[in-house]
Structure 1
Amino acid sequence: MKNILYPLKFEPIYQYRLWGGRKLENLLSKPLPNDEPIGEAWILSDRKDHASKVTEGPLQDYTITQLMKDYPDELMGKLMGRFDRFPLLLKFLDCKEVLSVQVHPSDDQKKYIPDGDTGKTEAWVVLETEKDSLIYAGLTPGTNEQNLREAVQSNKVDEHLHSFIPKKGDGVFIHSGTVHTLQGAVVFEVQENSDVTFRLYDWDRTDAKTGKRRDLQVDEALACIDFNQVNIEPVIPVNKGDKTERLFDNEHFILWRIKSDSSFTVGCINEPRILVCIEGNGKLHHEGNYFSMNKGDVMLLPASVGLCSFHPVNEITLLEIAIPDKKMPATNPQ
């Protein structure tokens, strides 16, 4: 029987954020709405409020939610039954201004996670930087709940945050429980499919859209912080050949970065894979058909698609993401 599923492309979902800018219009082909700051483009999302839609082919306008329900075996392969919804959420972020200082709970902190949601471990790949680019990741040694709570009250939280100046291409792993924020950068983000964020501090600013300060969740944030997560630096890529390096490898996702101007193989037999094009363009070949990928595109390769050949038009930088099929330590082992 002919496979119903094929390589699937999705339409980005734009999100207003007071810290956002307009740079995502240089990355994605879909026009940005209005003139307001757009901080996020959700490029693959299986959320009730924001479900990604297929843009091409016989399944056009199907949501990822419908695909998970109607074609679980073809989509997920040997991972079928492990997840009620697609387990990863993928985004591009345009952080023109600094985000709130925030933390996400871990999967086992059920008290702080709404029913049906999960904790949130995430990772960034830096795509663009500015003169004022800064990533805050982890605390400074010696920070504890008491002195951090006092710092919130005295507007001195940044004194307890480890920071570094990012450069294009950096990979940054943010384990759940890690205090973090960033500014002056465009990044790709892969994360658990969760929208649980606790704001510890928001730089004492007002949202121009509402005229009010955004709510903080100081008690919840402090309860979810892993105070052992200090001095987080960019990961050291692991070379997997002359074209490929692995940036992240943990219990929630594995991510490889492929740079090539000649053909290479992507996908996996009986497992889904996700491709994200961050530079250049090319075509994926599957069952006699070619599927184009341009900068900013995301493509889901259902498990039933298996291995495919990818043919760059020029030098391309492609991210390939896998969902691990077994539990691993969530420490991004290199």
Structure 2
Amino acid sequence: MSAGGRGLYPLRLSVTAKPLVFGGHSIARRLGKSGIPDWSVAETWECSDVEGTSGVVTQGPLAGRSLRRLVLDHPGELMGEGWSGPRFPVLTKFIDAAGALPVHLHADDGAARRLEGQLNGKTEAWHILDAAPGATALCGVRNGVTADRLRAALEAQDFDAVLRRLPVRAGETVYVPGGTPHSFGPDTLVYEIEQTSDIQQHAMRWKMEDGSPVGDAEFGANLDMLMRQVDLDSRPDFTPGLGIAVGDGVERIFLCAGPYFALERWRAGTAEPLRHAFTTAQILSNVGAPVRVRTGTGTGTGTGTGTGSAMLGRAETLLLPAVCGQVEITGPADVLFGYLPDLDRDVRAPLRRAGCPPRLVESLGPATHTRGPAPRTS
């Protein structure tokens, strides 16, 4: 990656690979990701500022600097004018659910502060990259199920008696608010975007790290905490997203959008390159063939802050700081952009101009905040 001037530029970050028991080899063999261990991998954390796994810049003048340090030293350049916070607010992962994930939930913001001593909870979304025919996910409590009935079914490990089982199809996305019990897999490959957090409460008799059994006392304590955090009314559904044409053979699909993150999928042919302007940091992940990425003014060969040019390989990720301002990608391309949105400016306005009905825009996720730049953490 070349970069001119002083300040931030498109950043490659170190990736953390997680060898959890439900993983397999699809991230390398189906997506084509290189540079990860040859053993079974459940997750690769592509852009992370979670405590203990904060990504580290791997190239350029800032090599060796952690994402946490960049957030503190360059908040405006990285996230956009007026933003402040102690850490990067969005976490992204590739997840290989070769086996089924444990049934679990993540606290919402209120429960995280009240019960976990954390700054924020963990709302997330899953974009399905690949799934076997007949694949399903558990997501949310069935209508009419009481807390007592839920607790009894979880104790009996009878999940289908109380949780909703949904069909899973490649290309669809579901926005999963904190407090929603869930699981997906087997044979499902997912790109996940979420709040920066690793808090979770499990309802399983085994540990996802190594499959070892969970004793009765620990299991009971886990269920106690889960029941204090569960939202019995959260019943999210998969959606196909909202697509708009933005050029000759260039398609922009809004996959999900809420106060904590938005995710888009862009595809381009060869008639013209993909061009995207932005004012907040973009997590750019490639889910197609290798592409050439240029940022900054013009083609990215200038000498200003934020300019750069690089190849982005299969299943690789770049963090594009807000100061870059725009990106151009030569097709054919199939890429994901994850970011912390101003919902009015970044999501509602372009969809409204394209004629999308408000009820469909609302299906992308809740609008609890409209940002300014977001639910702030400082």
* Same fold? TM cut 0.5: yes
1:131-150 matched pairs, under 5 angstroms: 131=133, 133-150=135-152
The answer as to 2:309 corresponding to 1:322 is no
2:291 to 278, 282, 287: 282
Q: Report the equivalent of 1:235.
A: 239
| Aligned equivalent of 1:187 | 190
Q: Counterpart of 1:301? A: 320
Cα displacement (A) at 1:165: 2.5
Residues of 2 paired with 1:66 and 1:208: CA distance? 29
Larger % of helix: which?
Answer: 2
Alignment of 1:222 onto 2:222: no
Cα distance, 1:247–1:276 mapped onto 2, change above 3 Å = same
Match for residue 76 of structure 2?
Answer: 73
Query: CA RMSD, aligned part only?
Result: 2.5
> Is the alpha carbon distance of 1:268 and 1:210 closer, same or farther for their aligned partners in structure 2, counting shifts above 3 Å?
closer
How big is the shift at 1:121?
A: 0.5
Q: Share of identical aligned residues, percent?
A: 23
Indicate the larger mover: 132-141 or 295-304: 132-141
| Alpha-carbon separation, structure 2, partners of 1:207 and 1:107 | 24
Rounded Cα–Cα distance in structure 1 between residues aligned with 2:233 and 2:194? 21
1:252–1:330 CA contact under 8 A, matched in 2: no
Give the AA of the match of 2:341: P
CA contact (8 A) 1:136 1:164 kept: yes
Which of the two has greater strand per residue?
Answer: 1
Per-residue deviation, 1:241: 2.1
Residues in 2 aligned to 1:208 and 1:198: alpha-carbon distance in whole angstroms: 14
The Cα shift of 1:210 comes to 6.7
Query: 1:92·1:186 contact (CA, 8 Å) conserved in 2?
Result: yes
Task: Tell me the equivalent position of 1:31.
Answer: 36
Query: Unpaired runs of 5+ in structure 2?
Result: 302-307, 349-361, 368-378
List runs of 5+ in structure 1 lacking aligned partners. Answer: none
SS in 2 for 1:74: helix
Alignment partner, residue 357 of structure 2: none
| CA shift for structure 1 position 160 | 1.0
TM value normalised by structure 1: 0.89
- In 2, the alpha carbon distance for the partners of 1:101 and 1:79 equals 39
The letter of the residue matching 1:112 is L
| 1:73 alignment partner, SS class | helix
The aligned counterpart of 2:267 is: 259
Asked whether the equivalents of residues 20 and 208 of structure 2 are also in contact (C-alpha less than 8 Å), the reply is no
